[in-house]
Amino acid sequence: MAPSAVSPDPAPASKTKMLVPKSKDDPTKEQTPLQAISQGVCLPGIPLFSSYDKHRAWILAHMAGAFRVFARKGFTEGMSGHISVRDPEHADRFWTNPLGKHFATLKASDMVLVDYDGKVVGGNTSRPANAAGFLIHSAVHKARPDVHAACHCHGKAGKAWSAFGRKLEMINQDICYLYGEAQALYEEFGGVVLDEAEGKRLAAALGPNGKGLILRNHGLLTVGGTVDEAAYLYTLMERSCEVQLMVEAAAANGIPKIYVDDDAAAYTFKMASDAESLYWEFQPDLEYEYEVSDGAFEM
């Protein structure tokens, strides 16, 4: 049997119980993940807004910034790829990118507002939205009221790993952010998504707790409570596909894989995958994009 077909022994069970640190102010309470990672003053939480207009402007700016981060990381592929963000005032409407415009050029004012019927009801009306993207994102937003943003692109590593029709394995700390039910697999492929039923099946595969979905022979999709969370998870998942492919190549030459044990993976997930932590994971990339573009994407 070829070395790549040999399943290595699982990692030994964790012998140390991993505890959540206690709050310095109240020893009876556990620290939040953001408090635990902050040595000193804690990073602030996700911003709150006094009006829908202010919240909407913030969402669209971060959405446009996320596209530019994706462009810098090489996630573009022709007209493919889309991000959607639920409107803060109207839960049955979401913002998405115009069809045929490069991610690196997108601004907040470019975004298109569509309703669940697929009608353009606001924002930029000079270009259409992506029809396949609408079917995917509308199905996800309908199925998951907790999802405020979703990202789907055709990145190289994501497409390559999707050809195996397998989930990513718990082989390093970062992928543990998608431990357990947080990662899902869509095992079908019926071509470009231009059928409502296909979008519904895809949303069903994501499940009630999914944050990242591998679409067989297609690519990746991630979701979050903010566009920042969904965008960070996409960058993490795409990079994790690249790492997994590297590991598979080494394993094919006889080097055994050592997996993160379940206790450690579950602990890492608990301490790193909450909404505030994942929001902050994206801020360094977003702030870098702001510096190099002089904030152009916010317009």
The percentage of residues in the chain with a pLDDT greater than 90, rounded to a whole number, is 85
Write the DSSP assignment of 114-176 as a string of letters.
EETTS-EEEE--SSPBPHHHHHHHHHHHHH-TT--EEEEE--HHHHHHHTTT-PPP--STGGG
Taking only the tens place, the pLDDT of each residue in 41-60 is: 999 999 999 999 999 999 99
Task: Give the CB-side neighbour count of residue 158, counting CA atoms within 13 A.
Answer: 28
How many Cβ atoms from other residues are within 10 Å of residue 22's Cβ? 13
Q: Are 152 and 85 in contact (CB under 8 A)?
A: no
Nearest CA-CA partner of 96 in 84, 80, 81, 108:
84
Percent of all residues in the chain with a pLDDT value above 70, rounded to a whole number? 91
Looking at residue 17, its pLDDT comes to 59
Other CB atoms within 10 A of residue 221 CB:
30
> Which residues contact residue 76 at a Cβ distance below 8 angstroms, ignoring those fewer than 6 apart?
70, 102, 103, 104, 153
Cα–Cα separations (whole angstroms), residue 299 to 6, 42, 49, 74, 293? 54, 30, 19, 23, 11
List, for residues 230-259, the tens digit of each pLDDT value.
999 999 999 999 999 999 999 999 999 999
Q: Cβ neighbours of residue 270 under 8 Å, at least 6 residues apart?
A: 20, 33
Class of domain 48-293: alpha beta
Q: Specify whether the CB–CB gap between 193 and 202 falls below 8 A.
A: yes
With vertex at residue 175, the alpha carbon angle to CA 171 and CA 176, rounded to the nearest 5 degrees, is 90
Residue 214 pLDDT > 50, yes or no?
yes
- Look up residue 249 and give its two tokens: 């190549």
Phi, psi of 221 (to 5 degrees): -140, 135
More confident residue, 144 or 27: 144
Calculate the average pLDDT of the chain.
Answer: 92
Q: For the segment 73-106, what is each residue's pLDDT rounded down to a tens digit? A: 999 999 999 999 999 999 999 999 999 999 999 9
Calculate mean pLDDT across residues 109-129: 96
Residue 3's pLDDT is: 38
Written as one letter, the residue type at 103 is F
Give per-residue pLDDT as tens, 274-297: 999 999 999 999 999 999 999 999
- Which secondary structure element, helix H or strand E, spans residue 34, and what is its range? helix 33-37
| Distance (Å, whole) CA 54 – CA 88 | 10
Residue 2, phi then psi, degrees to nearest 5: -65, 150
Mean pLDDT of 176-183: 98
**Model pLDDT, residue 70:** 98
CA-to-CA distance for 43 and 46, rounded, in angstroms?
A: 10
- The pLDDT value recorded for residue 24 is 64
User: Mean pLDDT, to the nearest integer, of 24-40?
Assistant: 83
